[in-house]
Chains A and B, each alone.
Chain A
Amino acid sequence: MGLLSKKDLKLITDPLADNNPITIQVLGICSALAITAELKASIVMSVAVLFVMGLGNLTISLMRNIIPPKIRIIVQLIVVATLVIIVDLVLKAFAYELSKTLSVFVGLIITNCIIMGRFEAFALANGPIRSFIDGVGNALGYALILIIVGFFRELLGSGTLLGFKVLGDPIEKTGVYAFGYENNGFMLLAPMALITVGIIIWIQRSRNEALIEDN
């Protein structure tokens, strides 16, 4: 027997593929569009969400029997806000430049629907360990998409990866027959992030027919 039972393992693998919070549940799109122009920002955002979601789910689950149902949203918000403030302060202290790039979007983790969704749907009804695993799993699913999108947007939009140059310089303007590489500025704009996510959804659904909804 491994570290995790089969049922627990599913909590991690499901959100990575067939129940991905971004591509299947279409939650948390806002931050996926806003901060994925650079791979580095996507990674930091992923780590931040991983931290907030794992600990948040754990905390909510520990308190699940003493939270009065009528004010549970407020309690959830306080938990997530506390964690987000910790992340924000850590970023400001140790990675100031990056925290400026992420700007308001770290704060907006509070309103990330994935987190509130998991609190409501899972942590309130399950034990702390399973809730923690579920939080980590969903955060990893979120991170996976963020990193894929960030990878392609930075590679094709700026020709760099994590700030290192990988693709060539812009070509000279010498007419129709000019060949060479030029960065695609469209990739840096938010619409292209949406289209990239859309393409991922397209690929995923064409590989797994079960995911296609009936209309």
Chain B
Amino acid sequence: MGLKEKLHNIKEKGDGKKWLSAFSAFHTFLYTPKETTHSGGHLRGADDLKRTMTNVIIPLIPVLIFAMFNVGFQQSVAINGFTEGMSFFSGEFWSFDNFLIGAIKLVPLLLVSYVVGLGIEVIFATINNHEVEEGYFVSGMLVPLIIPIDTPLWMLAVAVAFGVVIGKEVFGGTGMNILNPALTIRAFLFFAYPTWMSGDKVWVTGVVERTNEIAAGANLDAISGETILGSLAQGKEFAYSTWDMFFGFIPGSVGETSALLIFLGGLYLIFTKVGSWRIMLSAVIGSLVMGLIFNSVVDLGWINEGSKFYGLMSTEFWHHLLLGGMAFGIVFMATDPVTGSQTNRGKWIYGFLIGFISILIRVFNPAYPEGVMLAILLMNVFAPTIDHYIVQGNVKRRLKRIKAKTA
């Protein structure tokens, strides 16, 4: 008897037992079960939840691997300086050392995220006697990618516990949540431990140790671990070219830096119809419009270089898409089918406002030069309202049409 049959037999025996949900989760992880999902607010097609989730994981894998290289690369640049000729194809980037440094930092974050998140899902499934759903597989992957690399593991564990329980389980689990769980986790970290989540010391691993060594009298060059957005917000110069931003050789949250890979991931999501192209496109348009508005404010001379908003306002409008978490947020966060708008016209409004508000917060919030997280969470809250009015509008229009016909 093969492993498959054995596991299946165990499952049959466990009918109604407490441990069945935990076992089923493991079983489903290994084999595709015969049962398919028949209900759930997140489903609009014949795809089951597992395939949908896998289709989001696949484009995240290159981002994750690139992130490991970039973490090591940023550290070595921070220590040795950025020399001419380093590029996407150079050996300085794709070195095994870089990968190792990144992996040592990133793999524990990934593990903690999955163990804590899935652990809580299993506990809740056992208590409520339902199946463990695959929802957390994507969130668990997203979470380490959107936080600073040096976030301590225990903080991540606390945040994941909070995000999964308060952000998801209290609403009824996968498919019922109002807010994107990964962003809820990030928002919790951001408000709970702000000094670990922003500023110039958290984005590049090793900056703090080095600062301490310099303070202790070591003869080393001080390094800047500032993100481009951080520099812009303070009106400082930065040394990165547009191509660096596009390929992603810049400091930032772990997975957000490479616009190229995120763009390819976005194409994959659109191709597999998991992510909505309407949301992605409208969010891009929204951010470009806001960027253009700020650019023209600068062009018209309404603010001068003395203004503290000058740095971010005068940034080329399309640069905003390459900076910070904009691309990552639009592709992987805003398109979450559970928390986004469901109607087609609603998706345009929802996406546009995400882009628009992101740039607005980015420019005007002095404490925090990034607004993608807050903009998406805000629009998550409004998505049902948008849908409601779209649906009501349709109903009204059709009623009118019937009236006109019968009259």
Pick the interface stretch among B30-38, B144-152, B216-224. B144-152
* Docked-complex contact B208 and A176, CB < 8 angstroms: no
Q: Closest residue of chain B to A172, judged by CB?
A: B208
Q: A174 → chain B, closest Cβ, in Å?
A: 6
User: Does A164 count as interface, using CB distance less than 8 angstroms?
Assistant: no
Smallest Cβ-Cβ distance to A179: which chain B residue? B154
Proximity bits, A22-66, B CB within 8 Å = 1, else 0: 000000000000000000000000000000000000000000000
In the complex, which of the residues A170, A173, A184 has the most CB atoms of chain B within 10 Å of its own CB atom? A173
Bound: A178/B105 CA distance, A = 12
6 example contacts (A-B, Cβ-Cβ < 8 A) are as follows: A170-B195, A174-B208, A176-B151, A177-B152, A189-B191, A202-B170
Tally the A-B contacts, defined by beta carbons under 8 Å. 51
* Residues of chain B lying within 8 A (CB to CB) of residue A179: 152, 154
Asked if B278 CB lies within 8 Å of chain A CBs, one says no
Whether A175 touches B152, Cβ cut-off 8 Å, given contacts A195-B166, A202-B170, is yes
Question: In the bound complex, what is the Cα–Cα distance between A182 and B166 (angstroms)?
Answer: 21
Judge whether A107 is part of the interface by a CB distance below 8 angstroms: no
Decide if B194 touches A185 in the complex (CB within 8 Å). Answer: yes
* Cα A172 to Cα B202 with chains together (Å): 12
Question: Quick check: B196 and A173 within 8 Å, CB to CB?
Answer: yes
> Of the candidates B152, B195, B206, which one forms a contact with A178 in the assembled complex, judged by CB atoms under 8 Å apart?
B152
A90 CB within 8 Å of chain B:
no
Q: Are B150 and A176 in contact (CB under 8 A)?
A: yes
Residues of B within 8 A of A187 (CB): 192
CB of B209 within 8 Å of the partner chain? yes
Residues of B within 8 A of A189 (CB): 191
Residue of A nearest to B196 (CB): A173
Residues of B within 8 Å of A, CB-based: how many?
A: 26
A186 at the interface (CB under 8 A from B): yes
Q: Which residues of A contact B109 (CB under 8 A)?
A: 176
A186 touches B170 (CB 8 A): no
Q: Interface centre among B154, B192, B195, by most A CB within 10 Å?
A: B192
Q: For chain A residues 197-215, which have a beta carbon within 8 Å of chain B? A: 198, 202
Q: Which residues of B lie under 8 Å from residue A98 when comparing CB positions?
A: none
Contacts A173-B201, A176-B149, A177-B153: A184 and B192 contacting too (C-beta < 8 A)?
yes
In the assembled complex, which residues on chain B have CB atoms less than 8 Å from the CB atom of A182?
155, 193, 196
Q: Known: A182-B155, A186-B188. Contact between A176 and B193, CB under 8 A?
A: no
B14 within 8 A of A: no
Q: Which residue of A lies closest to B166 (CB)?
A: A195
The interface bits of chain A over 155-179 (1 if a CB of B lies within 8 angstroms of the residue's CB, else 0) are 0000000000000001111111111
Chain A interface bracket (under 10, 10 to 19, 20 to 34, 35 or more): 10 to 19
Would B192 and A186 count as touching, CB distance under 8 A?
yes
Which B102-120 residues sit within 8 Å CB-CB of chain A?
105, 108-109
B155-195 to A contact mask, C-beta < 8 Å, 1/0: 10010000000100010000000000000000010011111
Q: In the complex, are the beta carbons of B105 and A176 less than 8 A apart? A: yes
The SS class assigned to the A binding surface is loop
- B residues in contact with A195, CB < 8 Å: 166
Q: Does B205 contact A (CB under 8 A)?
A: yes
B105 neighbours in A (Cβ, 8 Å): 175-176
Starting from the known contacts A176-B149, A179-B154, 10 additional A-B residue pairs (CB-CB under 8 Å) come to A173-B150, A173-B195, A173-B196, A173-B202, A176-B153, A178-B152, A184-B192, A184-B193, A186-B192, A198-B170
A171–B154 Cα distance when bound, in Å, is 12
Identify the closest chain A residue to B199 (Cβ).
A173
Cα(A195)–Cα(B192), bound, Å: 14
A198 CA to B165 CA, complexed, in Å: 12
In the bound complex, how far is the Cα of B155 from the Cα of A177, in angstroms?
10
Distance (whole angstroms) from the CB of B128 to the closest CB of chain A: 11
Most central of B108, B188, B191, B208 by chain A CB within 10 Å = B191
- Are B192 and A185 in contact (CB-based, < 8 A)? yes
A198 to B171, CA, bound (A): 12
Chain A residues, CB < 8 A from B191: 185-186, 189
Cα(A40)–Cα(B206), bound, Å:
41
Contact, CB under 8 Å: B192 / A175: no
Tell me, rounded to whole Å, the shortest Cβ–Cβ distance linking A111 to chain B.
Answer: 27
Q: In the docked arrangement, what's the CA distance between A172 and B105, Å? A: 17
Do B152 and A171 have beta carbons less than 8 Å apart? yes
Report B-chain residues with C-beta under 8 Å of the C-beta of A185. Answer: 191-194
Q: Which residues of A contact B192 (CB under 8 A)?
A: 184-187
Interface centre among A174, A189, A195 (most CB of B within 10 A): A174
Contacts of A184 in B (CB 8 A): 158, 192-193
- 8 A Cβ contacts from B197-232 to A: 201-202, 205-206, 208-209
**Among A176, A189, A195, A202, residue most surrounded by chain B Cβ atoms (within 10 Å):** A176
Residues in A neighbouring B206, C-beta threshold 8 A: 175
B108, B196, B202: residue with the most chain A Cβ atoms closer than 10 Å: B196
CB nearest neighbor in B for A206: B127
Q: Chain A contacts of B170 at CB under 8 A? A: 198, 202
Residues of A within 8 A of B205 (CB): 175
Distance, CA A214 to CA B201, complexed state (A): 51
Bits for A65-101, please: 1 = Cβ < 8 Å to B, else 0: 0000000000000000000000000000000000000
